[in-house]
Structure 1
Amino acid sequence: MKRIAVLTSGGDAPGMNAAIRAVVRKGVHHGLEVLGVYRGYSGLIQGDFVPFQLGSVGDIIHRGGTILYSARCEEFKTKEGQQKAVEQLKKHGVDGLVVIGGDGSFRGAQKLTAHGFPTVGVPATIDNDIPGTDFTIGFDTAINTVIDAIDKIRDTATSHERTYIIEVMGRDAGDIALWAGLADGAESIIIPEAPFDWDEIVERLNRSNRRGKKHSFIIVAEGVSDGSTVAEEIKRRTGLETRVTVLGHIQRGGSPTAMDRVLASRMGAKAVELLLEGKKDQMVAIQKGDIVGIPFDEAFRMKHQPDLSLYDLAGILAI
């Protein structure tokens, strides 16, 4: 293996740039040439490659987003599009590819391997919803962004003695809502993976009011309901004045935390090691603190499940 390429795909996540940096510099350390591919699979099909040197990834470890950009590509979902991508990789003399992204990006990477091209995935998504890895790049930064926002909202909530509904990202996974809710002492957390009871939510709010608490928070993952619907139901059942804050894409941006920078650096470096070892059709994962490679098939067979013991603990601590 003499030349590798790296691309980012799917939703951006803080720490992607740190992972790109690690791939490039680890590759150069081992005497490899490294190419960056702009705009994900779309750029792959179009041949939008650029040689990366050590300096190409200087001063990016602290930046959110991705310097390689990201784009959706319907053409890549077809066999013809995938074949075009492989042809471009061969045309540019690439021997292995690192794909940094989420579940959809990994399924694309697996398609490339099925076409005979060695590909390794690095999990980067704020949702933390990739099976087989304890954490994904960007998750820690996202929950810290949410916590910072809630801490600021708390000042207003206390001043006006209101109940706030905070809607966070998490279409199919409740990890952001769960971790942020536990970290910020939310009265209730509503996530896709756990059933919730309106009577219990109302009782928690009433209990907080009886002991003189000046504000309340309910954290809801967007995959369960929207914040406005939850607020209307709470007001209907309790008469409490509620306000809704939808944090939206602010959760994807910002400088990555130290945790995400280190995780991205370790994972990016491991991806290069796997390619050098002749491994393909694998994703990098962190499991109990160790950085390992696992087959895509193994990861796809699993189902992501957040640590519901945290959900139970949040309920206990919110009494």
Structure 2
Amino acid sequence: MSAKQVTKIGVLTSGGDAPGMNAAIRAVARTGIYHGLEVYGVMRGYSGMIDDDIFRMESRSVANIIQRGGTILKTARSKEFFEYEGRKKAYENLKRRGIDSLVIIGGDGSFRGAQKFSNEFDIPCIGLPGTIDKDIAGSDFTIGFDTAVNTAVEAIDKVRDTADAHDRLFIVEVMGRDAGYIALHSGIATGAENILIPETKTDIDELVSSLSEKEKRKKLVNLVVVAEGDEFGGGNEIASIIRERLPHLDTRVCILGHIQRGGSPTCLDRLIASRMGYHAVECLLNGKHNVMVGILNNKLHYTPLNSAVKAKQKISDDWLKIVKILAS
């Protein structure tokens, strides 16, 4: 790819929404404008590129959005962008407007699309990890994770109050189809007795034995936090097995669902989104293309897009040991 000078930047949000995306959009827009570049907002991700739903952004376009959840640019998953003809149509729309670079805020699926698009049409792309799942390697945090996990912690704390009042076992299902970070962090932070995640094999016999043993010790209030992508299923499936094996337990299910996606972003999410958005523009200006901007050990880290889409953030054995010891 040629190291060409960029003049017009397009910014879009793609895939699932995440709190802090607006802060990233704001940082990209204002940093670009500061450097004398034109910045364009692309509505509804890659679908907006194909439909030419693109507008010129001014500094005031991103005023009063840093504290808002969701994304002012909307988001979507585009099946048409999977096909070459769809990507070609998107490129022609960008070319007609003179847009010569893109900042994509999203997850690994969004980055795969960006990598393919960039290789085909020589458009420099920068990826910002925007996903509540924290499942992308190359960054200690992803935009939206901290807000989502804090939302889960607040909800689980409230569930524990009612569990305590009634001596109940609560199965709390949190988001995480392929990654268990929300379950892991929120479970540890709320003192859950068991945490079930996709990254580890769930031993149902051990779970039932653990709950039975706790009951004998008169520990009647128990919380099990389960990621929706656990191998045995989500909260309802786990609860069904427990009710069958331990029918005398008063077992209830709470599915937190999409409340984890919404809400005002935390300070941490606003800060990392702003920092990443600023450095995305700096990357383009300095000729650093087709990378994901991440933060490792509080330092900026750049991962090639083709590596970012192949690698997953792995849960360390140390975390799993902490779960086992603290839940005993």
TM class by shorter chain equals over 0.9
SS in structure 1 of the partner of residue 309 of structure 2: helix
- The aligned counterpart of 1:129 is 135
TM-score (norm 1): 0.97
Instruction: Verify: 1:156 aligned to 2:165, yes or no.
Output: no
- The aligned counterpart of 2:24 is 19
- The aligned counterpart of 1:314 is 323
What is the Cα deviation at residue 140 of structure 1?
0.5
What is the Cα deviation at residue 202 of structure 1?
2.3
Instruction: Verify: 1:89 aligned to 2:89, yes or no.
Output: no
- The aligned counterpart of 2:109 is 104
Does the aligned pair in 1 maintain the 2:109–2:309 contact within 8 Å?
A: no
- The aligned counterpart of 1:32 is 37
What pairs with 1:239-254 in structure 2 (closer than 5 Å)? Answer: 239=247, 240-254=249-263
The runs of at least 4 consecutive aligned structure 1 residues that moved more than 4 Å come to none
SS in structure 1 of the partner of residue 133 of structure 2: coil
Does the aligned pair in 2 maintain the 1:27–1:34 contact within 8 Å?
A: yes
- The aligned counterpart of 2:224 is 218
What is the Cα deviation at residue 62 of structure 1?
0.6
- The aligned counterpart of 2:241 is 233
Does the aligned pair in 1 maintain the 2:132–2:145 contact within 8 Å?
A: yes
Does the aligned pair in 2 maintain the 1:41–1:72 contact within 8 Å?
A: yes
Amino acid at match of 1:228: N
What pairs with 1:157-236 in structure 2 (closer than 5 Å)? Answer: 157-224=163-230, 225-236=233-244
In 2, Cα distance between the equivalents of 1:189 and 1:242? Answer: 16
In 2, Cα distance between the equivalents of 1:302 and 1:43? Answer: 28
What is the Cα deviation at residue 308 of structure 1?
3.5
Percent of residue pairs identical: 55
Amino acid at match of 2:95: K
- The aligned counterpart of 2:63 is 58
In 1, Cα distance between the equivalents of 2:90 and 2:151? Answer: 36
Instruction: Verify: 1:144 aligned to 2:189, yes or no.
Output: no
Amino acid at match of 1:41: Y
1:202-225 per-residue CA deviation (whole Å, 9 max, x = no partner) reads: 233234334433411101111111
1:231-250 per-residue CA deviation (whole Å, 9 max, x = no partner) reads: 11112222211000111111
Segment drifting more, 192-201 vs 84-93 = 192-201
- The aligned counterpart of 1:3 is 8
1:239-268 per-residue CA deviation (whole Å, 9 max, x = no partner) reads: 211000111111100000111000100111
Does the aligned pair in 2 maintain the 1:3–1:32 contact within 8 Å?
A: yes
Amino acid at match of 1:154: R
- The aligned counterpart of 2:3 is none
Does the aligned pair in 2 maintain the 1:185–1:314 contact within 8 Å?
A: no
Does the aligned pair in 2 maintain the 1:82–1:111 contact within 8 Å?
A: no
Amino acid at match of 1:309: D
Question: Which of 274, 277, 294 is 2:303 aligned to?
Answer: 294
Does the aligned pair in 1 maintain the 2:183–2:196 contact within 8 Å?
A: yes
- The aligned counterpart of 2:282 is 273
What is the Cα deviation at residue 57 of structure 1?
0.5
SS in structure 2 of the partner of residue 262 of structure 1: helix
- The aligned counterpart of 1:119 is 125
In 2, Cα distance between the equivalents of 1:210 and 1:291? Answer: 50
SS in structure 1 of the partner of residue 89 of structure 2: helix
Does the aligned pair in 2 maintain the 1:122–1:268 contact within 8 Å?
A: yes
The answer for unaligned runs of 5 or more in structure 1 is: none
- The aligned counterpart of 1:77 is 82
What is the Cα deviation at residue 301 of structure 1?
3.5
Does the aligned pair in 1 maintain the 2:111–2:127 contact within 8 Å?
A: yes
The answer for unaligned runs of 5 or more in structure 2 is: 1-5
Amino acid at match of 2:258: H
What is the Cα deviation at residue 51 of structure 1?
1.1
Does the aligned pair in 2 maintain the 1:274–1:293 contact within 8 Å?
A: no
SS in structure 2 of the partner of residue 218 of structure 1: strand
What is the Cα deviation at residue 284 of structure 1?
0.8
In 2, Cα distance between the equivalents of 1:306 and 1:142? Answer: 18
Amino acid at match of 1:273: E
What is the Cα deviation at residue 11 of structure 1?
0.4
In 2, Cα distance between the equivalents of 1:226 and 1:19? Answer: 32
